Amino acid sequence: MENDSELQQSCWAYLPNVCLSHVFWWLDDRDRSQAALVCKRWNQAMYSGSLWRTRTITFSGRPSRLNTSEFESALWYVKRFGKYLEHLEIKFLNPYNAVLTRKFQVTMRGLLSHLGKCNTRLVSLTIQHLELDRLVWRNIIKNQFIKNLIIFLKRMGTHLVHLSLKGARVTLEEGCELLSSLSYLKNKSFASEINIEDFFSHHLSIYSSPLFHQTMSTFRNLVILTLNYNCISDELLDILCEHNAHSLWTINIKCHIHDPHGQVVWGMSWANLAKRAPKLKVNFFFERVMKHDSLARILLAEIPLRSISLRSCYFSDPDWSMRPTLTNLLPAYKHSLQKLTLEFNNNHESLDEELLQLVLSCKKLFFLKIWAFLRVAFVERLLQNQAEGKCTLRTMKVRIYTNRYETIEEDRMLRDIFRRYRDLIDSELNYFVIAYPMM
């Protein structure tokens, strides 16, 4: 018994460091702390830098007894392991009142201050959906938080590669000061990925701001840029063409009904950027911007469009038609479109044939998601064309809206279709098709 015990102990004692670190990697913070008490060697393993390079710190926005421990543990972690951090994500979930936003601001002040002093490795920072324009963010709290974040970004700007402040909802001046802080030391920033989707408050015409254009001109190595359409202008495209054409791969653009989107952008500006940045792909995401006239002003033929998402969020308008968009506008991208997402309420018009012809004309299309009023036969025709090699989809997600509560008949027909094309689906498709009552 003693020999067996000694043998078992020696096996753990001589476990290679790489294996021990891998075991610790799978443990959460509480289990790591417990394991570190086993022996001196295991305690040393806990302080391996590879365990602490990536971190997500989550703060609950609801009053609870756990709030205090959340804020304290965040500070404890940064003081102990902040010097190893390379990728940091901060989440503050739906703050309930000003007391919690104040606690968050004070905690972040300490966290960012300590991290700014001890860390030289951070390359990625994500703080999303703060919604600083909400009433729970009193002006004094919001201003102090933004000030602390600006100071931190000035310190980290030289080596920060990725910054996401999606959903911050700040003013034009606040937003430009935050972005400019990345270029504080050298008057230029070499960050490669910036996400400023919903970064500015609603209703702001950012595209006409010289301050915004001046701020964006400091970025010299952008690879991925995510922003709203109310930031897009000929001036911005010219700036990207001049300073980032050598590196730019992707522009993600969100266009929301509540954001200004009536500005005129010339096709020549897009054409020049596409020519200077030959690897560039543009992805558009439309939220309730569905009318053909609005889309035609935005979706210019010169844009190197890779994917498009059009969502009406269940809103129905008898005076609106999707047909011109499907037959006249989107086919202009048949040689480049790879991902297509359509979610709309077309109860007043049948679009099965137009949708099928659009899919068949886009030879590079591999992802298709459609939520609409369709006949079940649409799915069968699409699978038949896939079987005949007329389309090359890899993902097919269809939600067939119906005007009835019961979908028994549609469900039966879809099961029959699945059985007939099961071999094709299993071998080629990520497939999800259902009938859905839309009352």
DSSP of 171-219: -HHHHHHHHHGGGTTTSSB---EEE-TT-BPTT--GGG-HHHHHHHTTB
> How many residues does the structure list for the chain?
439
pLDDT in tens, 325-381: 999 999 999 999 999 999 999 998 999 999 999 999 999 999 999 999 999 999 999
Higher pLDDT, 13 or 25: 25
Give the least confident one: 24-38, 254-268, 302-316, 367-381.
Answer: 24-38
Confidence of residue 434 (pLDDT cuts 50, 70, 90): very high
Say what the pLDDT of residue 1 is.
Answer: 45
Q: Pick from 81, 34, 18: which is nearest to 55 by CA?
A: 81
Assess contact for 108 and 78: CB atoms under 8 A: no
Confidence of residue 2 (pLDDT cuts 50, 70, 90): very low
Say what the pLDDT of residue 344 is.
Answer: 93
Q: Is 66 a residue whose pLDDT tops 70?
A: no
Say what the pLDDT of residue 49 is.
Answer: 81
Q: 3-7, 35-39, 95-99: which has the highest mean pLDDT?
A: 95-99
pLDDT in tens, 128-183: 999 999 999 999 999 999 999 999 999 999 999 999 999 999 999 999 999 999 99
Taking the C-alpha atoms of residue 267 and residue 78, their distance in angstroms, rounded to an integer, is 48
pTM comes to: 0.92
Burial class (CB in 10 A: 0-12, 13-18, 19+), 313: exposed
Taking the C-alpha atoms of residue 250 and residue 303, their distance in angstroms, rounded to an integer, is 12
What residues contact residue 298 under an 8 Å CB cut-off, 6+ apart?
229, 255, 261, 265, 284, 289
Say what the pLDDT of residue 349 is.
Answer: 92
Say what the pLDDT of residue 130 is.
Answer: 96
Taking the C-alpha atoms of residue 27 and residue 74, their distance in angstroms, rounded to an integer, is 17
Higher pLDDT, 28 or 123: 123
Assess contact for 195 and 163: CB atoms under 8 A: yes
425 token code pair:
């689906």
Assess contact for 381 and 406: CB atoms under 8 A: no
Instruction: List strand residue ranges (DSSP E) for 42-150, in order.
Output: 54-60, 87-93, 124-128
Say what the pLDDT of residue 80 is.
Answer: 87
pLDDT in tens, 17-43: 888 888 888 888 778 888 888 888 888
Confidence of residue 67 (pLDDT cuts 50, 70, 90): low
Assess contact for 251 and 223: CB atoms under 8 A: no
pLDDT mean across residues, the chain: 92
Residue 400: enclosing H or E segment and its boundaries?
strand 395-402
Give the least confident one: 40-49, 99-108, 258-267.
Answer: 40-49
Average pLDDT over residues 314-328: 85
Taking the C-alpha atoms of residue 436 and residue 407, their distance in angstroms, rounded to an integer, is 7
Residue showing tokens 């297509």: 340
Q: Is 196 a residue whose pLDDT tops 70?
A: yes
Taking the C-alpha atoms of residue 297 and residue 180, their distance in angstroms, rounded to an integer, is 31
